[in-house]
Amino acid sequence: MKKYMIVGLGNIGTEYAETRHNIGFKVLDALSAREEAPFETMKLGDVATFKIKGRSVLCLKPSTYMNRSGKALNYWMEKEKIPLEHVLVITDDINLPYGTIRVKTKGSDGGHNGLKDIQEHLGTTQYNRFRFGVGADFSKGRQVDYVLGQWNEAEMEKMPERLKKSTEVITSFIMAGVQRTMNQYNNT
């Protein structure tokens, strides 16, 4: 049976729950609700598992905080023997307009500390990532406040549709592969 791991980046704690930086957790919560697969607190994170047409899926919300995401990802990849090409990392991206989806197979960390830590643990920049645009509506020097800030009313209004689309992207990644997913969903 093929195994996949979907890693949503974010920070643990209620004070971070509705922040832009936690979109990875939010997307996984939507996926777990759709699949009726509740999260359980386990080593280095919260884990939910389910199957889609003969494929086994492990969803991980690291409890290591954003800047140490690579430790949890690496642990669960090795423990479950999941190949790197079957891993998808979901992260916020200030370089994309709100709600824009971009799936990539490689790239730089773009200044994102969670991605930076993952790349250090994996020893490569060649891994699948799902970037969810959060926009860049902040003044110089206010980036941290922005990504750790709450969604505004307009963003919250569009969130259910964006989360539904995000779960479709993940299902496509699992069922059709990363190239087809990029072709179908990038910039939607």
Domains assigned to the chain: 3-185 (3.40.50.1470)
Residue 86's pLDDT band (boundaries 50, 70, 90)? very high
pLDDT (0 to 100) of residue 85: 96
Identify whether the C-beta of residue 88 lies closer than 8 Å to the C-beta of residue 173: yes
Q: Stretch 59-80: mean pLDDT, rounded?
A: 95
pTM of the model: 0.95
Determine whether 86 is an active site residue.
no
Contacts of 160 (CB under 8 A, 6+ apart): none
**Helix 153-176 × helix 178-185 angle, to 10°:** 140
% of the chain beyond a pLDDT of 70: 100
pLDDT (0 to 100) of residue 43: 97
pLDDT (0 to 100) of residue 124: 94
pLDDT greater than 80 at residue 155: yes
Identify whether the C-beta of residue 102 lies closer than 8 Å to the C-beta of residue 93: yes
Q: Stretch 62-75: mean pLDDT, rounded?
A: 94
How many other C-beta atoms can be found within 10 angstroms of the C-beta atom of residue 140? 5
User: Of residues 21, 86, 112, 121, which has the active-site annotation?
Assistant: 21
